[in-house]
Amino acid sequence: MTERKKPFASSLAADDRRLHSLNILLADYEPIVDLARDEALLELKQPCAVYGTRDFADHRFYKSLTMSLGPVDATQPPPDAAGEAGAAAEPAVDAAAAEAQRPDGSSYFATWACCLPVEGHARSIVCDLQRSTFAFIPNVVAEILELCKTRSVAELYAHYGHEHNREIDEYLAYLVARDFGFYCATPQPFPELDLDWRNPRPITNCVIDFGADTEQPLASLSEQLSRMFCQAVELRFFRAASADELASCAAAFGDSTIRSISLLAGDHASLDRDGLELLLRRNKRIKHIAVHSTAGRNEVIRVDMHTTIRYTSEVVSSEACCGQVSPRYFSPNVDAFTEALVRNSCLSHKVSVDARGAIKNCPSMVRSFGDVRTTPLAEVVASEAFQAPWKITKDQVLVCQDCEFRYICHDCRAYVADPEQPLSKPARCRYNPYEGRWE
Amino acid sequence: MILLLSGSGDANLDYVIEWLHHYDHPYQRINADDLLHDDFHLALAPPRLTVRQRVVDLDAVGAVWLRQFGNLRRSVYWQEAKRRVRPDALEQIAREHAVALGGLLAVLADKHWLTHPSRVHVNKLDMLQCAHKAGLVVPETHVVNRKRELAALRATGDFICKSLYEPLFLKDGSGFYAMYTTRIDAADDELISDDFTPSLVQRLIPKDYELRVFYLDGECYTMAIFSQQRARSALDFRNVDWTDPPRQVPYTLPPEVAARIRAFMTEIGLNCGSLDLVKSTDGRYYFLEVNPAGQFGMVAFPCNYPLYDKIALHLIRHDRA
């Protein structure tokens, strides 16, 4: 039973309670963790003429961009190593509880629709698209889960000749303990997730780079991107930038369809934690700030569920620093997963402006489609040549097509392992799916 | 042309607008709060509407999507006015604002409506009656105002109380009181006075899971929420910890339940709405309530249902008809 936190009735004089209704009397008190921040954000308005609103909702379903750099601390193992160890070890399963949940052999085991197994060459993962996470499973478990779609647990035992009932029970108990699936009398009412990716927006995301003396026409870009319903921009400074400069660049998107602004800038005295938090408090669209070239400071601060601040000692001197592949940049969510099935997981519906003002698919790519000062973005975006790389899926990319991470990992077409083979894997990926390890 | 009527903060309109653009279909959005900030001129007999100094050709309007077209409290205007206008005057202004909005709706009476203005606000108790008549199972429901009546009910089993009207959030100090569905515990006895104002109590339904149904034009798009997985959301899914949410998955209603929902929605004249149901541990599907202009992003996104596209296509079809 829920613990009563502090019913409203407690705040009333006994004689005043009769003037209230039951639901109000028994209403529970919910503290707001950071009231000052919450109220500051409430006062901020995010107008958008294209949507015809003077304050659009701070919606949680949007695409955010962050430049794919190395891990914050290169000496640390990639974040999935812990999960790997966990999966290899005997899962901490409350056998009795799991047993109690399983009614009988005629019941079915169903994975939650949002938990999708993806088979790789050496091992598989379950992508939990609701909680944005994943876990390793042996390939045989992915096979079992596929069989579970049409077979009861008893039929599953029979399929393996009743020789592996115990192992099957253990696997399923592990999946229940990790909340990837559940037992049910019939799987019928629980359809699989619709994996169609649908998108009405000509452009969903945009990268804009700033070199030593770049001047980007941000007001014009904001207007052009809004007409294409772009949702996310990343502004990347390959030099130090002050909090004031970042604030004024972000302010250029003050009336736009942009729901998420990511900032990357070289360290500056004004970019201490207070300075960055003030920046976040004054512009609700800013969701991520990364400060590079710090003198040894490596830290990730989670401000709230959708907002992060990151300090890295890595030096980001040009667009050539992008393209790192790491579990840090995995996106196990419905939108990214379904998009990766049919589109390129980096370039799809992206447009970029590099530090020299060239319109490109990505600043790291060679081909320029025109100068941002003279060429309208919409013209470039509509062209077949520009859209060609959008359609390269992970299932077409060599090596990646055998990798269990293929639908949650971002691609990179700018730096590929074999320049002679355009469909070769990202050059900066250190993962070997044939052996299931990071090299 | 399609008219979209709601408020500034309604993201659902943004998503439908993207699809209308995609299909290259003309539309005009009018937010209830626009009347307090932008140029707005409604002339009558014959009706003539000007928004931001541009004439809206009312004859060209074929379909109207009506959502939360009101609620002054959520507007930018309110934030300023609550500090600078006398409370009684502000109350009057809110009523006048509502009449102006109602006048615009009346002018559009002969259009195709996605949610007709006469049905956009429904009575929770009436809906329970109608659902029952349509063959849906509803929880045992009482409206009482005496503790002794409540005690007599509670002697027969567990009861919950919930708001008769839409739930309210009372801000206080560094938090708020939330009118979620609440189980009435023995420990609450001392908090409840002998008399109270008329209140809704219902027999507690032991749940397998909760169901959220978005109904559009005869179709049910359903999501199951395993709110029983978490103590704090067990009674009311809205009381959820978003950092550790219970499972939310697409769900297929038994055909007879879907048919009764269709009969119910048809009977009450709603072509669109969000319904809350509970699959009880006894296997029955209990209807709890219907929200004509309720939220449905929380169903559309986790289940990957193409609801925004469907709404755009529905509006376009009827706009052309």
User: Can you give the pLDDT at residue B174?
Assistant: 79
* Predicted confidence (pLDDT) per residue in A171-218, tens digit: 999 999 999 999 998 889 999 999 999 999 999 999 999 999 999 999
In b/e form, how buried is each residue of B69-100, taking b as 16+ CB within 10 angstroms? bbbbebbbbbeebeeeeeeeeeeebeeebeee
**Rounded mean pLDDT of B25-53?**
94
Select from A23, A48, A50 the residue whose CB has the most chain B CBs within 10 Å, as the one to mutate to test that interface.
A23
∠ Cα A281 A286 A288 (to 5°): 110
What interface predicted TM-score (ipTM) does this complex get? 0.92
A 65-104 residues with CB below 8 A of B?
Answer: none
Hey, what's the torsion of the CAs at A198, A202, A205, A206, to 10 degrees?
160
Dihedral over Cα of A339, A343, A346, A352: its sign = negative
Q: Which residues of chain A are within 8 Å of residue B315 when distances are taken between CB atoms?
A: none
Helix then strand then coil, % of chain A, to nearest 5: 30, 20, 50
Dihedral over Cα of B89, B94, B99, B100: its sign = positive
Least CA distance to B244: which residue of chain A?
A131
B 148-177 residues with CB below 8 A of A?
Answer: 150, 161-164, 167-168, 170, 172, 174-177
By CB atoms closer than 10 A (0-12, 13-18, 19+), residue A378 is middle
> Which residue(s) pair with B317 in the sheet?
none
Partner B contacted by A57 (CB < 8 A): yes
Partner B contacted by A342 (CB < 8 A): no
User: Can you give the pLDDT at residue A91?
Assistant: 45
d(CA A316, nearest CA chain B) in Å: 32
SS3 (DSSP) at B207: strand
Q: Which residues of chain B are within 8 Å of residue A35 when distances are taken between CB atoms?
A: 174-175
Q: Which residues of chain A have pLDDT under 50?
A: 1-2, 61-62, 71-93
CB B85 within 8 A of CB B78: no
Query: How many CB atoms neighbour CB A110 within 10 A?
Result: 21
User: Can you give the pLDDT at residue B222?
Assistant: 98
Query: Could you tell me which residue, A128 or B176, shows the higher pLDDT?
Result: A128
Partner B contacted by A17 (CB < 8 A): yes
Query: Could you tell me which residue, A56 or B219, shows the higher pLDDT?
Result: B219
- For residue B302, give the nearest of A14, A56, A334 by CB distance: A334
The HSE-up count of residue B132 (CA atoms within 13 Å, CB side) is 10
Beta B169-172 vs B112-114: how paired, if at all? unpaired
* Predicted confidence (pLDDT) per residue in B108-164, tens digit: 999 999 999 999 999 999 999 999 999 999 999 999 999 999 999 999 999 999 999
Dihedral over Cα of B228, B232, B238, B244: its sign = negative
Query: Is residue B200's pLDDT more than 90?
Result: yes
Q: What integer best gives the mean pLDDT of chain B?
A: 93
**B180 and A28 in contact by Cβ < 8 A?**
yes
pLDDT band at B203 (very low <50, low <70, confident <90, very high): very high
Query: Is residue B230's pLDDT more than 90?
Result: no
d(CA B207, nearest CA chain A) in Å: 14
User: Can you give the pLDDT at residue B72?
Assistant: 84
pLDDT band at B243 (very low <50, low <70, confident <90, very high): low
CB A275 within 8 A of CB A243: yes
User: Can you give the pLDDT at residue A65?
Assistant: 62
User: Can you give the pLDDT at residue B87?
Assistant: 94
**B178 and A30 in contact by Cβ < 8 A?**
yes
- Give this prediction's pTM: 0.92
d(CA A292, nearest CA chain B) in Å: 28
Least CA distance to A304: which residue of chain B?
B243
Name residue, tokens 């503790």.
B147
Least CA distance to A333: which residue of chain B?
B302
